[in-house]
Structure 1
Amino acid sequence: MPTIVARHKVGNFDTWLKGHQDRVNIFAPAISSFKTFQDADDPNSVVLVIEVTDIEKLGAIINDPANAHLKASHTVIDPITMSMPVDI
C-alpha cells in the first residue's frame, strides 16, 4: 500500500475544509486513510498524505467528470499534483 502526497490550491480554505466528509466518502474505494495539511506560507495551499489501496482507481475518481461538482463546491483549483514514493 503506497503512501502518496497530493497538493493543490483552493479558493477558500474554510469552504474546502468543510468538505472533509465528502473526501472521505468519495475516496473510500481507493484509499485506507489520509491526513490533511495546510501550507504555513499559503493558507490556500493544501496537502493530503494518502494511504492508497488502488492507485488506478484513485486517479479515476480524481479525473472523473462526474465529480467536478465536488471540486467546484470545495473550491479546488487544478492542477492536483500527486507525488509518488521513490525507492532509494
Structure 2
Amino acid sequence: MATYVFRHKVGDIDAWLKGHSDRVRLFAPASNGFRTFQDADDPKSILIVVDTDNIEKLGAIINDPKNQPIKDRHTVLEPITMSMEINF
C-alpha cells in the first residue's frame, strides 16, 4: 500500500464539506481510506491523504469525465496536484 497526497482549492468550502460521503463512495474502489485537511492559512485549500494499492485506478476515477458533475457540485478547482511518499 502507498500513501499519496492530493491538494486543490475549492470555490465554496461549505459545499465541499457537504460532499464528504460522495468522496467516500467515489474513492472506495481504489482507496483503503483517506484523511482530509484544510490549510490553516487558506480555508479554501484542501489536502487529502489517500492510502491506495492502485494509484492508476484512483487517478482514473479522479480524472473520469463522468465524475465532473461531482467535482462541480463540490466546487473543486483545478489543478489537483498529487504528491507521493518518498521512502528512504
TM-score > 0.5, shorter chain as reference? yes
Q: CA RMSD in A?
A: 0.6
Query: Are residue 34 (structure 1) and residue 40 (structure 2) matched?
Result: no
TM-score computed with the length of structure 1 as normaliser: 0.97
1:6 match: 6
Secondary structure, aligned partner of 2:87: coil
Please give the per-residue CA displacement for 1:31-61, whole angstroms capped at 9, x wherever unaligned.
0100110000000000001111211100000
Query: Partner of 1:20 in structure 2?
Result: 20
Aligned sequence identity (%): 61
Aligned to 1:54: 54
Indicate the residue corresponding to 1:71 in structure 2: 71
Tell me the number of residue pairs that the alignment of Structure 1 and Structure 2 aligns.
88
- Unaligned regions of 5+ residues in structure 2, if any? none
Read off the aligned partner of 1:63 and give its amino acid letter: N
Runs of 4 or more, structure 1, over 6 Å off, are: none
TM-score of the superposed pair, with normalisation by structure 2 = 0.97
Q: What's the CA shift for 1:87?
A: 2.4
Distance between the aligned counterparts of 1:38 and 1:12, measured in 2?
Answer: 13
Task: Give ranges in structure 1 of 5+ residues lacking alignment.
Answer: none
